[in-house]
A and B are shown apart, each in its own frame.
Chain A
Amino acid sequence: MGSKMESSLLWLLLFLCIFSTPTDGKPMTILGQPPPANISGTNLTELSIVSLHWDHVTQPYIVALWIFVTGLAKLVFELNHKLTATIPESALLIFIGFVLGGMIWGADKAQTFTLTPVTFFYYLLPQIILDAGYFMPNKLFFGNMGAILTYAILGTVWNAVTVGLSLWGVYLGGIMGDLKINLLEFMLFGSLLSAVDPVAVLAVFEEVHVNEVLFILVFGESLLNDGVTVVLYNVCDAFVTLGADRINAVEIIKGIVSFLVVAFGGALVGVVFAVLLSLLTRCTKNIQIIEPGFIFIVSYLSYLTAEMLSLSSILAITFCGVCCQKYVNANMAESSVTTVRYAMKVFANGSETIIFVFLGISAIDPEIWVWNTAFILLTLVFVLVYRIIGVFALTWILNRFRLIPLEIIDQVVLSYGGLRGAVAYALAFMLDGNKVREKNLMISTTLIVVYFTVVLQGVTMKPLVTWLKVKRTSKTEVSLIEKLQNRAFDHILIAIEDISGQIGHNYMREKWNKFEEKWLRPILMKSSARKKQDQLFNVFHQLNLKDAMSYVTEGERCGSLAFVRSENNVNLDFKKKLASDISDIMPDINSDSSDTGPYTIPMTCIMQDNVPTVCLDVEEDMRGKSMRDTENINTHHVLQMHLYKARKQHRHRYSRKEMGLNKDENEVQEIFQRTMRNRLESFKSTKMGVTQSKKIKPAKKDQIPNGKHKTHSFEDADFSDDNVFSSDFAGGVASGGGGPTRLSIRSGGGIENPAFMPDVDHASPLHTPPWSAVVDDGVAPSQRAQVQLPWSPSNASRLTPLRISTRSNDSFILADRPTAQGEQPPPSQPKSTPK
């Protein structure tokens, strides 16, 4: 009942808004002219206390009113959830546009509001594209770049050429009747219809939740094909203007060159502005309130600059968003980051709504409608058919180069997802009516195609996806063993690749990451942000914050933060609640079951779902029960936080917003030390007394006194110079002769490895160090250990290491030194050779 009242109220409001807006019957754009003033300025006879100054506020008022109306429209149909589940929002908005357009036309007998290219291209489109670029999952995007580019370039060109040529062929056949179009104009028409539209794709695919690869392919294609579309359109337009006789090989070559220039130039402009943006955010430490403003303004400037230079503006703003996101998010204060995210979503959403409503309204304009059945029908057919053919052909070629081929089902969805949208309509609108005589026919056809793809294909996309059993993104919680195993797989694969000496995508990515870390990051990122890069200051941290906040809210609802256990133990599924909150802001949270690392939300909490009758502080009792679940939560968190990160990235890690390459030198050192220790032990046990020098390859250092000391490999390790940590085995080592390995001792230099702080085993005393753990195969203590057992300090007083010491921190050295607390290393064992 309540919602019915709401909806009727809203309809009433809508009607009022439409009819109360005075117009003068002249065709008016959204930036239109004001109607005649209500108060004429000449015959003022008396002072009026209050007067109506419509002419003062016309323009802004109408703009604001339209935004208001479109927002209301969205509100209206959101009231009915079943409706929004079956029909995508975009289709619904178009319908509302029809209704509104009908109302306006009924009132004015002319369509006073239409979607003009200027408004569209300069005020409505940029924020959508920026939003797309800013939230783009970079790893996924660049990992699939080859496929995306293929579809974007080759696919679009194919679409344009085939549609244009086929239509021309049919025209020559005569069934289209008498149209005044020549080949060039057909090509022009084909080119403007060729582009898959990012707005439409986003709108439809957002609700369908296909798996990431599929999504990124369609979406990436829709973004990048703008370069092709712009060039094709401009080239064909120029040719039409020049006339068919002036086209020769030179012009065609110029066309191809212009494509390269436009595309790469646009991308370059975007990158330049991204760098500018990163540098700016680096300096805004003291005036953080400006930061969000900079993001929007600079990105918009990049769009306009590219437009000014006749380069691809969409590409510019896309790459601006793509390249700056990492640095900007790291440099800005957390509140600024949130602000930018929210604001971007608001703007993008608003623009999208307005675009679709106006697409609907623009249809209700009898002036533009020219109906030619054959033309329209055939265009539709050709667009669809050639899309399918194009996708399948390109995928067949691509599959030979991809590790994981795209299946038939994926290809079907890809071809079905080739939606045309407002860009095509705006381009059609921009045609020069004098040169292209059948402009209205083209506009009508474009509108029909747009409606068909957005409405029909949009509505049927979800059922199709379900029917074909396309792989969707799974939102299920990853179990502990999956998490562990995923990480293990990464390590395994990396090891295998290292062993087999693969140079593949990883190689390039590794090179890029190294370059980026060495050169770009110091320039573009604040030093404080750089330090936090690989640690918890990332999405996981934010999720934790959100968890904590929800935790508190729930607890407060209960009266206090003590949770009451009820008989039915209602399980508030935190995940769902949070997922819905977060998915708006960070839609990339929902990734598939690949190792999602920090962004699955493993929280399930036993909480009261309904209002408790009694809220007793039954703490002890409750603790026993919720202990399990807090344990569960803790376990997930611990695993999450402490699993060693895999060293390299693999292209088949389709998780979004993946953390960068693990460059945490501490971690690398830790693993390295551990491994070496283990090896030391196992080797010494098996090959006691045998010099192993010939087996072990010192690449750089020329001497190995005896093979027992693997210190040389520390040198070989592929670390940056800072990482060479000192190991001086001179102290207390009963080496069999020969000088101790000469290694550079860097005191104070390099990363202070927390693992090797004086109190090195900050685990509890229960945690036995690996070298003294009793191993099954009875590794005898090393020769060195026989002299002096590696001493594990028992004062594990610190759990978090403090970096206070600037001296060399190697545990072996430190072990040999008596600590300040006066603890002595255990007495050395008598020498004995195991046999």
Chain B
Amino acid sequence: MPFMPEPDPDPWQLRRLNGPQDFGSVKELATNPIGDRIIGAFFSQGQETVDFHSFVRILAHFRPLDKNRAKRPDSPEPINSRISKLRFAFQLYDQDNDGKISRDELLQVLRTMLEMQVTEEQLESIADRTIQEADLDGDNAISFDEFRKSLEKVNIEHKMSSRFLH
């Protein structure tokens, strides 16, 4: 599993994932069209390694929603809330972190997720349509709010939760 690759000289040190290559040992990720982006999401900006703590934080996004938690008004948004999950998804698209999904970014994602048989024109028209559907303020890019709004009906709790072994 991910933490095996490097024989760790110091077993008490926080295990690390040294670089995206370590994720390469998870073979199935290679057959995932957005696998690389997901791997990238584990590494914060510019960093080359991920320590265990951050790893777990990212995974925590996928915990099922806990509806019974009392909402304290000033506590920070729990990491597995709907908003956080959406934000995670948003960041997969928004690689340059400017808070918007531009047409190009969308095109890139579409390219990876669509089969090779799709022509460039079709890709572009899909991207245009998608932006058109979601874009409310007309800036030809999808901001996080627009993203969130367009996915109102989607059951995020279902779709972005995984049950981890207790």
By a beta-carbon cutoff of 8 Å, the part of chain A in contact with chain B is 403-404, 474, 476, 479-482, 484-504, 592-594, 631-632, 634-635, 638-639, 642-644, 647, 652, 654, 667-668, 670-672, 674-676, 678-679, 683, 692, 695-697, 710, 713, 716-718, 755, 761-764, 766-768, 770, 776, 799-800
Contact = CB atoms under 8 A, between A and B. Distances in A.
A494 B28 contact: yes
Contact of A480 (B26, B89, B129): B129
B29 to A, nearest CB: 6
Contacts of A770: 111
Contacts of B97: none
Nearest to A716: B27
The 5 residue pairs across chains A and B that have the minimum distance between CB atoms: A489-B159, A767-B120, A652-B158, A642-B115, A498-B28
B113 A484 contact: yes
| Most chain A CB within a 10 A radius of its CB, from B111, B134, B147, B159 | B159
Given A485-B89, A498-B29, A695-B5, A474 B153 contact: yes
B44 interface: no
Contacts of B27: 713, 716-718
B155 interface: yes
B73 to A, nearest CB: 24
B145 to A, nearest CB: 14
A695 B30 contact: no
Nearest to A493: B162
Nearest to B134: A481
Contact of A755 (B59, B116, B163): B116
A496 B29 CA distance: 9
A671 B30 CA distance: 7
B30 A676 contact: yes
A639 B162 contact: no
Interface in B86-133: 89, 92, 96, 109-122, 125-126, 129-130, 133
Contacts of B33: 491, 644, 671, 674-675
Contacts of B121: 764, 766
B130 A766 contact: no
Contacts of B160: 489, 492-493
A481 B25 contact: no
Given A667-B115, A718-B28, A496 B130 contact: no
B43 interface: no
A492 B89 contact: yes
A115 B130 CA distance: 58
Nearest to B4: A697
17 contacts: A474-B153, A479-B150, A480-B129, A480-B130, A484-B113, A485-B154, A490-B159, A491-B33, A492-B38, A499-B26, A499-B59, A504-B162, A504-B163, A638-B118, A642-B118, A713-B24, A713-B27
B164 interface: yes
B117 A482 contact: no
Contact of A763 (B2, B34, B118): B118
A679 B89 contact: no
Contact of B130 (A484, A762, A768): A484
A480 B38 contact: no
Contact of B115 (A488, A500, A644, A761): A644
B92 A495 contact: no
B70 interface: no
Contacts of A491: 32-35, 38, 113
